[in-house]
Amino acid sequence: MSDTPMIDQLETGPWPSFIKDIKRMAAKNAMCKDLLGLLEMSYKDKKTHWKHGGIVGVRGYGGGIIGRYSDSPEKFPNVSHFHTVRVNQPSAWFYNTGALRYLCDLWEKHGSGLTNLHGSTGDFIMLGTTTDHLEDIFTDLSEHGWDLGGSGSDVRTPSCCNGMARCEFACYDTMNLCYDLTNEYQDELHRPAFPYKFKFKMSGCPNDCVASIARSDCSIIGTWRDDIQQDNAAITEYAKGGKVDIANDVVAKCPTGCMSWDGSKLSIDNKNCNRCMHCINVMPKALRPGKDKGAMILLGAKAPIVQGALLSSVLVPFIKMEPPYEEFKDLIRRIWEFWDEHGENRERIGEMIVRIGKGNFVEEVGLEPTPAMIKEPRSNPYIFYEEYFDEE
């Protein structure tokens, strides 16, 4: 009879089994053996057996380590302490096998041998070690050119889509910007000093493969200002083979009605296109983003706690995104200064903007209000006029 009859049932079936993987590791690592026991207990009791460790870390850094203790140290002593190490991943999660093998060897020596590829924010997650290993792990990592990621009230590890490395839609170099910002903001990443966390995510086009508009305080999404690049021969090819029903699958699905198809020619009224990407997604060989490329900056997405979930909303409709990205960094500096001054404890930037009003925020960070920032103007008459006339 197995000690873990419930979780054993997750070893079968076509989807890769994390239980099989933990068992494989348990053959040579006592932590994994106890983790299986603790997890089986959770499956039986229908509750977690973990506690949060708040002051675990490496010297000098406030981010990168998440403390975990189990509530059953006597039953499962090997996972009594089971901390997480967040290692800052390379841009867009590309690896060479030498780099991955190094991380594996390090983690075999110092931890459970279990990882998350990758954590929700993007880091290479090493799952489960004890406090006495942390300094050694960090020293070894830094000697080999790696660093820890963020946690707490800091710049969280930025992440990005694969951009120009393997996508024709990329409107700016997401991987370069991600690397550049991560290095520019090392101090802000490792030494938490903000009212709360701040996440950057970078997507190369409005398809937003890293969900930046839902998951980051600052979403940087690629876009273009000129006309969609159109290859009429390729359009004909799509139409001829019956591969794409251009009238129904492309034109009828265009949200702005800016396209027409007369059976042989596709016309796009580019001035009315809202860059939704649908037609480009359907016919990537025939249509491509324009040549005047850059990015849109949106601010404020977050999960529900405390004031409810938010999506990011437009702050800068278009900005050129080329190294050294000075105009962008200057904007970020102004935004942080304002947040630092006015943000309340544990208030994300999106919540602060709602609290003080987006119009006020826009003015405070030195931007001009534009209709691109809103879905619609206010419908209530409660305007706080800042200027009015006095009788002379």
Residues 250-279 contacting another protein, CB under 8 A: 253, 255, 275-278
Q: Binding segment for another protein among 74-82, 259-267, 317-325, 326-334 (CB under 8 A)?
A: 74-82
Instruction: Write out the DSSP string of 339-391.
Output: HHHHPPTT--HHHHHHHH-HHHHHHHTT----GGG-SS---S-----S-----
Q: Does 323 bind another protein (CB under 8 A)?
A: no
Size of the site for another protein (CB under 8 A): 145
CB contact set of 89 (below 8 Å; sequence gap of 6+):
118, 122, 123, 124, 149, 157, 159
Residue 14's CB: how many other CB atoms inside 10 A?
Answer: 5
Q: Binding segment for another protein among 263-271, 301-309, 317-325, 357-365 (CB under 8 A)?
A: 301-309
Binding mask 186-215 for another protein (x = CB under 8 A): xx--xxxxxxx---------xxxxxxxxxx
CB of 327 to another protein, least distance (A): 21
Binding mask 109-128 for another protein (x = CB under 8 A): ----xxxxxx-x------xx
CB of 368 to another protein, least distance (A): 23
Q: Does 57 bind another protein (CB under 8 A)?
A: yes
Residues 132-191 contacting another protein, CB under 8 A: 138-139, 142-143, 145-147, 151-154, 159, 161-162, 164-168, 170, 173, 175, 179, 182-183, 186-187, 190-191
Q: Which residue among 227, 249, 322, 364 contacts another protein (CB under 8 A)?
A: 249
Is residue 299 within 8 A of residue 315, CB to CB? The reply is: yes
Q: Does 94 bind another protein (CB under 8 A)?
A: yes
Helix (H) or strand (E) holding 244: none
Binding mask 19-48 for another protein (x = CB under 8 A): xxxx-xx------x--x---x--xx-xxxx
Cα–Cα distance, 54 to 65 (Å, whole number): 10
Mark 230-265 as b/e (b = at least 16 C-beta within 10 Å). beeeebeebbeeeebebeeebbeebeeebbebeeee
Is residue 246 within 8 A of residue 230, CB to CB? The reply is: no
Q: Which two tokens stand for residue 329?
A: 């960094």
Cα–Cα distance, 48 to 350 (Å, whole number): 31
Residues 339-368 contacting another protein, CB under 8 A: 340, 343, 345-346
Q: Does 314 bind another protein (CB under 8 A)?
A: no
CB of 137 to another protein, least distance (A): 12
Q: Does 227 bind another protein (CB under 8 A)?
A: no
Q: Strand runs (DSSP E) across 164-217, as ranges?
A: 200-203
Reference 120, options 156, 164, 166, 96; nearest CA is 156
Q: Which residue among 101, 265, 291, 333 contacts another protein (CB under 8 A)?
A: 101
Cα–Cα distance, 348 to 337 (Å, whole number): 14
CB of 228 to another protein, least distance (A): 14
